Structure 1
C-alpha cells in the first residue's frame, strides 16, 4: 500500500517508521536536534509549500532514514494508512 504525502510525493506504507505531529513533537529538544541533523545531512524532503503540520519518518532503500515534511495532519495521514483500523481489529480479537 502507498501513502500520498502531498504534491507528487507517494511513499510505501511498509517503509513508514513513524508519523509525527509537528507542533507537539518539536517541543522536545531531541526531536528538534534530530530534524536539524537530518536537514544538514540532506535527508529531509519538504513536500509542501504551506505551513508544515507533520513529518513522516521512513526507512530509505539505501539504508538510513528519510524525513518527509508535509502540510497534511498526522491524524489524516494515520487514517489514510489504515494503521488505526488494523489496531482496532487486533484489539477486538
Structure 2
C-alpha cells in the first residue's frame, strides 16, 4: 500500500519509519542533528511550496510535508493489513 504525503509524492507504507510534527526540530537537538545530516547527504525533499507541517522519515529519504502529522498518521492507520 501507499501513503500520499502531499503534492505529487507517494511512498510505500512499508518504507515509513516515523512521522513527526515539524515543531520537533525546534524542541529537540537530536532531531535537528538528524535532519541536518540527512540534508548534507542530500536525502531531504521538501514537498510543495507550502509551509511544512510534518517530517516524514522513510528508509530512503526525509520528507517535509505540507500535510499535518495527525492527518498522515490517520492515513497510515486506514491501510488494510496485508
Same-fold call, TM > 0.5? Answer: yes
Which residue does 1:5 correspond to in 2? 5
Q: Deviations over 1:41-86 (max 9, x none)?
A: 10001112111100110012xxxxx101111000000001116xx8
Give the 3-state SS of the residue equivalent to 2:51 in structure 1: coil
Give the 3-state SS of the residue equivalent to 2:39 in structure 1: helix
Which residue does 2:68 correspond to in 1? 73
Higher helix proportion (structure 1 or 2): 1
User: Structure 2: how far apart are the matches of 1:46 and 1:29?
Assistant: 20
Gaps of 5+ in 2: none
User: Structure 2: how far apart are the matches of 1:54 and 1:48?
Assistant: 12
| TM-score (normalised: structure 2) | 0.89
Q: Deviations over 1:21-41 (max 9, x none)?
A: 111x11101101111111111
Displacement of 1:7 after TM fit?
A: 1.0
| TM-score (normalised: structure 1) | 0.79
CA RMSD of aligned residues (A): 1.9
Q: How many residues align?
A: 80
